[in-house]
Amino acid sequence: MKTAVVALEKTLNLIRIYRNKRINEIEKIVGADFIKTALIELANKGFTCNAISKMIGKERHIINKWYKRYKIIPFRYSGFKPFLLKVTLNKNEHNIKYGRYEKINNKEYKVFYVYPNPILAYVIGLILGDGHIDKRKIYITGGKPTKSYTFLKSICKKISKVSKYLGNKTIRVKYYDKYDNEVKCNNSKIAYWRLYIYWSALSHALKNKYILNEILTKIWSKKVLLNAFSAGLLDTDGYFTFRNKKPERIGIDQTIEKWWFPLFVSKFKEKYLVKMTRRSRRYRIEHRKRLYEGTSTSNVLELRMSSWPVFIDKVVLPYSNKPIHLRRAPIFKNHSINVSNRWRYK
């Protein structure tokens, strides 16, 4: 499989190099059989003539000429299809520029493929931890920022890198007062902020349970990506708590509606000592002069103290961006090491 991908890319590169020559000359240099094989493979993968022409820098009618010459049946475009992002662990399949058409669960999408890196894994952790997803955009919400905007600035840098990696997608930060009116960043009445990511392919991927499960399975299969993802979750719904001024707990909470969280805990247990419990809490929130009351039930991941040093060294210090976590992490690590003779579990 890998050899076939390399051969395809080599053929496409040769065509790009000699794209200014006539097609007969290109065939002599590259080889007609190689060109035919490449075009058949691309058509079978769901790439349109237009997409292939952009890949190699030739006009679309040239691709159609080759199709007729080699008797290739082109992929039939049948109107607009939603965009969708999939994760691949093969670097050669990384493609966020030329979408291919695929049928997934009896629905057709224009699919892009991304090779995940730690920054992308961290941002996905942020989004799943405390993000809001609709059909064309995603936003992450934060409370009233401090004067330095430290956390917001840090995740803005991360998400900016991700947006470039995904093809220069639009991101934007907006600020709101307590009445949900948009205000400027220097307004003293700011109550909260939202960081928006605009790309429907990412939105559709995270809203599709089948695709999301596939994305998470691949990210969690690599320890470095699992650690970065975990830091994203920690920065949105995690905590370091003290009791009687001594470190007591490192944990992450997620509501029971998030079906993927128990799966994450099971995978996390392969690397760290943890336990998961369930907790219910009453809530009472007043918003826009309306009162909301009810009970929220969450799954709670708690790290055993013996895993604190490794978790802090592998997850928090390399990937976390939340100031309070970075301040408390060394304190918790040192405490764990100092009381190691009193651990009740291995």
pLDDT by residue, tens only, the chain of 346 residues: 556 667 888 898 899 998 899 989 999 999 999 999 999 988 888 888 888 888 888 888 888 899 899 898 877 766 678 999 999 999 989 999 988 999 888 888 999 999 999 999 999 999 999 899 998 899 998 877 665 588 999 999 999 999 999 999 999 999 998 888 999 988 888 888 999 999 999 999 999 999 999 999 999 999 999 999 999 999 999 999 999 999 999 999 999 999 999 999 999 999 999 999 999 988 777 666 677 788 889 999 999 999 999 999 999 999 999 999 999 999 999 999 998 876 655 4
pLDDT for position 346? 44
Tokens in use for 95? 């493609």
Predicted pLDDT at 4: 63
Burial (CB count <10 Å: 0-12, 13-18, 19+), residue 11: buried
Question: How far from 92 is each of 1, 2, 84, 153, CA to CA, in Å?
Answer: 11, 8, 19, 33
Spacing of C-alpha 244 from chain mean position: 38
Collapsing DSSP states into helix, strand and coil, what is residue 300? strand
Q: Say what the pLDDT of residue 191 is.
A: 87
Q: Quick check: 268 and 276 in contact, CB under 8 A? A: no
Helix (H) or strand (E) holding 280: strand 274-287
pLDDT for res 76: 72
CATH number, span 211-342: 3.10.28.10
What confidence score (pLDDT) does residue 288 get?
A: 62
If we measure between CA atoms, which residue out of 136, 255, 254, 125 comes closest to residue 205? 136
Q: Which of 284, 298, 290, 276 is nearest to 130 (CA)?
A: 298
Topology of the domain comprising 114-207: Endonuclease I-creI (3.10.28)
Measured between its terminal Cα atoms, the distance across the chain in Å is 43
Give the strand order in the sheet containing 192-198.
131-133, 137-142, 192-198, 170-176, 182-183
Structure tokens that stand for 6 in this block? 């390399």
Q: What residues form DSSP beta bridges with 95?
A: 113
CATH 3.10.28.10 spans which residues of the chain?
211-342
* pTM of the complete model: 0.86
CA-closest candidate to residue 113, choices 92, 91, 94, 129: 94
DSSP tally for the chain: helices H, then strands E:
14, 12
Burial of 41 (0-12, 13-18, 19+ CB in 10 A): middle
Are residues 121 and 229 in contact, defined by beta-carbon separation less than 8 angstroms? Answer: yes
